[in-house]
Amino acid sequence: MSSLLTVRDLSVAIGAANPVDGVSFDIAAGETFSLLGESGCGKSMTALALMRLLPAAARTAGGEVAFGGRSLMALPESEMRTLRGGGMAMIFQEPGTSLNPVMTVGKQIGEAIALHGGKVSAVDLLDAVGIPDAARRASEYPFQLSGGMKQRAMIAMALAGAPELLIADEPTTALDVTIQAQVLDLLRELQRSRGMAMLLISHDLGVVSRMADHVGVMYAGQLVEVAPRDRFFAEAAHPYSRALFAALPDAARRGGELASIPGSVPPLDTRFTGCRFADRCAEVVPACREAPPPWRELGEGHRARCIRIGEEKSALATRQEKPEKPGTDHVSSAFAPLLSVTDLAVHFPIRRGVLQRVVGHVRAVDGVSLELAAGRTLALVGESGCGKTTAGKAILHLIPPTAGSVRLDGRPLAGLAARDMQMVFQDPFGSLNPRLRIGDIIAEGMRALAIAGNHAARIGELLGQVGLAAEMAGRWPHEFSGGQRQRIAVARALAVNPRLLVLDEPTSALDVSVQAQILNLLRELQGRLGLAYLFITHNIAVVDYLAHEVAVMYLGRIVERGTAADVLRAPRHPYTQALLSAVPRIEADGTERVVLAGDMPSPANPPSGCHFHPRCPHAAEACRLDYPREVAVSPTHRVRCVLVAAVATGGPD
């Protein structure tokens, strides 16, 4: 099959640095080629170079890019402008910052249509990408759309010129698993119906497994392995590729340490003499540092850069499954609860008019009850907007609860010291004061709570506990990687000796290798210090690895709760089933796919009866009448669903 896009020895320079260095690959019409690797490996810079959209400081230093037989490097900018959006289009990573906030969505899409002489309307395109009530949405501004709708609007804009090649840069990174599944299904259907080629950039192995025809693994500006999808996932050859697989959390590794990759991607200006992965490789030998490894052909379009291919693989780099330790899923009730939350509610008033009268309430959290024992992890899962983070903040009284009670060791929270419970926020950079050095950030809580002792020594001890050097206390937050900043956030929380940590999406913005480091750290600290974790996340793989109990939240309420085995292996609520089936998996598990349509309703105007019934594939008339009571499926497993209640009481299915 002839190639639509041909890339040969593409290099990009920023001063003396080479973020892309000799990259070559081909994409045929209708195929998907996926670039896989950690942040900083050069994936996005490669895409920008193909579109000739490099930042001002960067330039194409060498190589050739041909699209449909035409050399893109030789095209004048006037012709390249026509090609962008017409022949090649790009979906950028963050739709919230890629859309113009002062223009309606329809007008932005209309600009792209007019530029490329399209015959369709903005409403037609919004309808084609599955946005409900497209005519109304076209007149709205980006801030009025959910994350999934903004991403769909970006796809509609990219399709305005009927491109032959679509470049999708991390198109689902910031989305929940249900919305991610909708976007991926949409991209596959559009590709199938239009015969588009796609360059998919991702660090999510599950997404790559689901979407790609061919995979290219990128490290430090170079491709280190290229293979057809099936062959790559069956027989990944490069040590870096195998290490990425080994870092994935799942149930098979419960109780064991994830095989994290030490260190980080080398800086752009590093001068390499041998294999670029040598400093982080568990299989390195002296010859690896002497000269760059050549490509080795492995057959069937599979090749890799490694001199040790064919030798016995190290224990670190293979995907050996570790048996679950006995007792990791004991019944929660066997442990005395450290945290008890009863009927917690957080309602925000909606004010309108000159006098700002209260005309309604946003029921962000609407009657949540849960328990958590010392040394245990309770995962609170659900889509964005379901109230998980608000519940976590209300438990700590960072947001005043409207109703309900929170007790620690049986005592009301109001009478406890602030040191007993601490929070690790989602964004490790935004939660650290950029004007304070790391040592001052960690010491801030100790000073505020007048904790006695040698603070300098304690700071060094805390940095050591989270795997950082004591001398790093004098550095600023911007001098650290994302994973290191998250470690600092954990150290700050531990500084006041808490018994409970509320962890709000602590790994959502991290690569799989850095995620493994943080999960290993949390598991080790819990085992050593007996900490209780309330772990807020939508990453089911992380829940499967770390959590003892799981509570599933939808529109401010808990719809299912139980042990990790109960909820993840035998889910009973249709929403839980949809969440689990939407997770992109490397290996098919035989589970029937549940397609969850639409977005979560507004908590300001929740549906009558069961809040999930407008999206539920099994909704009956009874689901629209009253909110379902909680039913005990087993001593450890409880569900709020009319259908489950009917079965439990012997009623009709």
Burial class (CB in 10 A: 0-12, 13-18, 19+), 606: middle
At residue 604, the pLDDT reads 86
Reference 124, options 108, 106, 146; nearest CA is: 106
CB 451 within 8 A of CB 496: yes
CB 472 within 8 A of CB 503: no
For residue 418, the model assigns a pLDDT of 64
pLDDT of residue 491: 92
According to the model, what pLDDT value does residue 252 have? Answer: 80
- State the 10-residue block means of pLDDT for the chain, 653 residues long: 90 92 95 92 94 93 94 92 90 82 94 84 87 87 82 87 91 76 85 92 90 96 96 94 91 83 84 93 93 94 91 46 43 69 95 89 94 96 89 93 93 72 84 93 91 91 88 91 85 92 85 86 92 92 94 96 95 94 73 69 90 92 93 95 75 49
Domain made up of 336-585+592-648: CATH architecture: 3-Layer(aba) Sandwich (3.40)
Q: What DSSP string runs through 474-510?
A: GS-GGGS-HHHHHHHHHHHHHTT--SEEEEESTTTTS
Integer angstrom CA distances of residue 98 from 283, 437, 563? 41, 32, 41
CA atoms within 13 A on the CB side of 122: 20
Which distant-in-sequence residues (6+ apart) come within 8 Å of 9 by Cβ?
22, 23, 24, 62, 63, 64
CA distance 26 to 389: 43
pLDDT at residue 172 in the model: 79
Q: What residue segments make up the domains of the chain, in order of their start?
A: 99-162, 336-585+592-648
In the block, which residue shows the tokens 């693989």?
313
In our burial notation (b when 16+ CB lie closer than 10 A, e otherwise), range 84-97 reads bbbbbbbbbbebee
Q: Given strand 32-36, what is the order of strands in its sheet?
A: 88-91, 165-169, 197-202, 32-36, 214-219, 222-228, 302-305, 295-299
First to last CA, the chain: 52
> Tokens 């209309």 — which residue?
110
For residue 560, with 0-12 CB atoms within 10 Å meaning exposed, 13-18 middle and 19 or more buried, which class applies? buried
User: Packing angle between helix 455-465 and helix 438-448, nearest 10 degrees?
Assistant: 120
Whole-number pLDDT of residue 355: 87
pTM assigned to the model: 0.84
Tokens 């223009």, located at residue: 103
Q: Parallel, antiparallel, or unpaired for β 295-299 and 88-91?
A: unpaired
